[in-house]
Structure 1
Amino acid sequence: MGKRSRVARGVAVTALAVAGTMSVTAPPATAADTPATGVPAPHKAFGRLGTLTDLVVERLRVSDDVAAAKFGTGSPIDDPTREQQVLDQVRQQAGALGLDPEQAAAFFEDQITANKQVQRGLFARWTAHPGEAPTTRPDLGEIRTRLDRLTTDLLGQLKSTVDVRAKRTACTVQLAVATGSAVVLGRLDALHREALDTAVQSVCA
């Protein structure tokens, strides 16, 4: 692990400790803070990278459904054709938003890697403990529709946080606090915490 990674991890651990000791009750939500679902945005108090982190976590949770859809079917975790389609879509949308297409693609490569990390972990868990395996199989078509929506939402957040992410030190601190609070508020297990680390590693790059 390089020096930069050790420093970032140290900041993240500190942030996690702080998030674990602070009250997780968000400040009163305003109309602007409340999405169409009526649920207050949970990380508004944790800086502008909070919403981006929330979407990353949501995408990781969709990975659980992808794993459930594939487990026991013989379908491979790796899907190079689909992955290339996602990255081509990302480059096209990023260019239209004025983002660097290759930087956006690098971020989404991390999302794909994290997604597969979750799938492999769940496959191993369910193989070792069959009683924990899912009893229903989600529809992959519906899952991909959700993932396409998240792609658009994540690109929007990359656009809205360009200035924050350009300041590496401030970005690293904000990201550490946002991810630390996501772990606590989302009660992420070890597998999803590790995947979250993977998914956000290029946010401040």
Structure 2
Amino acid sequence: MQLTTSMRRALVAGAAATALLTGAGGAFAAPAAPPVTAPAAPSVAPSVAAHSPYGRLRPLAALSAERLASGDLVAAAKWGTGAPIDDPVRERQVLDAVAAQARQLGADPAATMRIFRDQIEASKVVQRGLHRLWDADPSQAPDERPDLGEIRKEINRVNGELVRAVAASPDARSAPSCRPLLAVNAAHVRHERRLDALHTVALARALRSVCTAYAAPAG
């Protein structure tokens, strides 16, 4: 594959981001150090960047982080209720819905479901982490319980945008450059949103199967 100048710059930045966000086994891993400034994005015109592999992967990282923010609210809604974090019925509904939307868009439903399984597991990482924190220090627990039904409406909205981002990025997700470019995007999202260690771990989990060459096999 012939790389453009912008692609080369992104791959150079990706080397640093990969060191930050990937482990020896090839999966993203949370860094032990505090957050650092993300590598510089490739210097290209916005109209070009939006249609480049880098630009097509950007929404996947950004929407994954947005979806994880809803995990905080889900954790608060379930806190103190005895409701389990695992919800197989709800998970099946989500997977069926995104697979149906992927078919409507002409996207690969199996790949879409694989990515969303990771999204669901990433949300559980956030929920479990917050419940452990609140168990250890009740003073940090939420004072109010959000409406889980309203939260799920927002999650469904993000899910729809994320399915469209998956459908718009098959070439970028299958390219050899996917992993370093996704790592650059993840590092930028982490920096912009000032993600803590818990949410950095969760973002890594959410993005595990985005690059098809590295996608985990369906279970």
**Pairwise TM-score range, normalised by the shorter structure:** 0.7 to 0.9
Question: Does the CA contact (< 8 Å) of 1:107 and 1:202 recur in 2?
Answer: yes
Match of 2:200 among 167, 178, 193: 193
Instruction: State the Cα distance separating 1:10 from its structure 2 match.
Output: 8.5
Aligned to 2:17: none
Question: Does the CA contact (< 8 Å) of 2:68 and 2:123 recur in 1?
Answer: yes
Rate the CA distance shift 1:11–1:189 in 2: closer, same or farther, 3 A: closer
Distance 2:28 2:132 in 1: 29
Aligned to 2:128: 120
Give the partner amino acid of 1:72.
G
Q: TM-score, normalised by structure 1?
A: 0.80
Rate the CA distance shift 1:10–1:99 in 2: closer, same or farther, 3 A: closer
| Residue 188 of structure 2 corresponds to residue 171 of structure 1 | no
Percent identity of paired positions between Structure 1 and Structure 2: 44
Instruction: State the Cα distance separating 1:28 from its structure 2 match.
Output: 10
Deviations along 1:97-123, whole A, 9 cap, x unmatched?
111111111110000000011100000
Match of 1:137 among 121, 125, 145: 145
Count of residues paired in the alignment: 185
Instruction: State the Cα distance separating 1:75 from its structure 2 match.
Output: 0.8
Question: Does the CA contact (< 8 Å) of 1:183 and 1:193 recur in 2?
Answer: yes
Rate the CA distance shift 1:130–1:49 in 2: closer, same or farther, 3 A: same
Cα RMSD of the aligned pairs, angstroms, is: 3.1
Rate the CA distance shift 1:178–1:71 in 2: closer, same or farther, 3 A: same
Aligned to 1:20: 37
Structure 1 runs (4+) deviating above 3 angstroms are: 7-13, 21-24, 26-30
Q: What SS does the corresponding residue of 2:209 show, helix, strand or coil?
A: coil
| Residue 52 of structure 2 corresponds to residue 53 of structure 1 | no
Deviations along 1:118-175, whole A, 9 cap, x unmatched?
10000000010100000111111111101111111001101111111121x2111110
Q: TM-score, normalised by structure 2?
A: 0.75
Distance 1:21 1:101 in 2: 32
Aligned to 1:148: 156
